[in-house]
Structure formats: C-alpha cells, structure tokens
C-alpha cells in the first residue's frame, strides 16, 4: 500500500495507518486467507499441550462416572441374589423380576436424544452434574422401595436419569 502526500507523518503497516512506526519491508504471501501462525496467537505444540492437560483432567473422572453407571445398572442382579424377590414379594411365575430388569432400557434409550438437546442448550458443565444428581436421587430412593410398583417406577426413573450420561460423555 503506497503512502499519499497527506499521510506524510503516518506510516502504513499491514494495511493500517500507524503513527510513528516505520515499515521497512512488507511480507507478500500468495493465496487468499493466509494467516501467519504467530499472528493467530497459538501454535501446534501449545495446542497439543493444552489438549493433553484437559484430557488428563477429564478422562479419569468421566471413566469413573461410566463405571459407576455400569455398576448401578447391573446392581439389581446383586440385589436379586440377596433377597430382592422375597422382600418385595415378586412372583416368579409372572416374571416380575424380568420386567423390573428390562423396564430400565426403553427409558434409557428414549432419554438419550432429549438429553443431548438439553445439553446443547444448558452446556455440558451444567447438564452432566444435573444428570448425576438425578441419578443419585433415583439410586438412593431405590433403597426404600417397598413393593413391585415402586421398583418399576425407580427403574424407569433411573433409566431416564442415566440415559443422558453416555451421550453426554461422548459430547
């Protein structure tokens, strides 16, 4: 960019007029949209270092959440081995235990898509803790279940609460 006589006290740098700065040589780059790496304010090594730091902070916590989710999902099997069927008076002929076991999954699957939509609206840093709180409440209330209907309600609510965890972790 050439200077004009009326710009005698101004110098030109990167297409902008700056006062008191002398530009000795301008860099010429071919191609449209070229951004020099230093001018963008980041470099590849710093990005790798930052991503590694984030991964080391998040992945162990998210792996623990997923492990706890898996343990909680399968915990009903341990309760059956103890005395679940006897305590809740479940009928083996009506397959009530199997129904209580399987009611979790339709609600789990149905909650995944709305959970992803909510996560985009509220952001993961708010949504995942909300899921964890709902999940903890459902798990705690499962300990005070007195009958078959209560077990079904708790398992369905647990499916809804846990449904957003895996997509949330993947997000």
161/136 Cα distance (integer angstroms): 9
- According to DSSP, the residues that pair with 16 across neighbouring strands are 13
Mean pLDDT, all residues of the chain: 79
171/147 Cα distance (integer angstroms): 37
- Name the residue with higher pLDDT: 76 or 30: 76
Q: In percent, how much of the chain has pLDDT > 70?
A: 75
Q: Report pLDDT digits (tens) over 86-121.
A: 889 888 888 999 999 899 999 999 998 999 898 888
What is the residue extent of each domain of the chain? 59-170
């Amino acid at each position: 960019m050439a200077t004009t006589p009326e710009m005698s006290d101004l110098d030109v740098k990167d297409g902008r007029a700056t006062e008191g700065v002398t530009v000795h040589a301008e860099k010429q780059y071919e191609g449209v949209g070229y951004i020099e790496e230093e001018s963008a304010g980041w470099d590849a090594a710093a990005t790798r270092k930052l991503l590694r730091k984030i991964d080391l902070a998040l992945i162990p916590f998210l792996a623990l959440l997923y492990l706890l989710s898996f343990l909680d999902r399968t915990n009903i099997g341990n309760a059956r081995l103890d005395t679940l069927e006897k305590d809740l008076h479940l009928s083996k002929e009506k397959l009530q235990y199997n129904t209580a076991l399987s009611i979790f999954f339709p609600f789990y699957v149905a909650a995944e898509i709305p959970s992803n939509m909510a996560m985009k609206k509220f952001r993961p840093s708010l949504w995942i803790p909300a899921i964890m709180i709902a999940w903890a409440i459902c798990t705690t209330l499962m300990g005070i279940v007195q009958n078959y209907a209560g077990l079904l309600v708790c398992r369905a609510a647990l499916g809804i609460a846990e449904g957003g965890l895996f997509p949330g972790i993947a997000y």
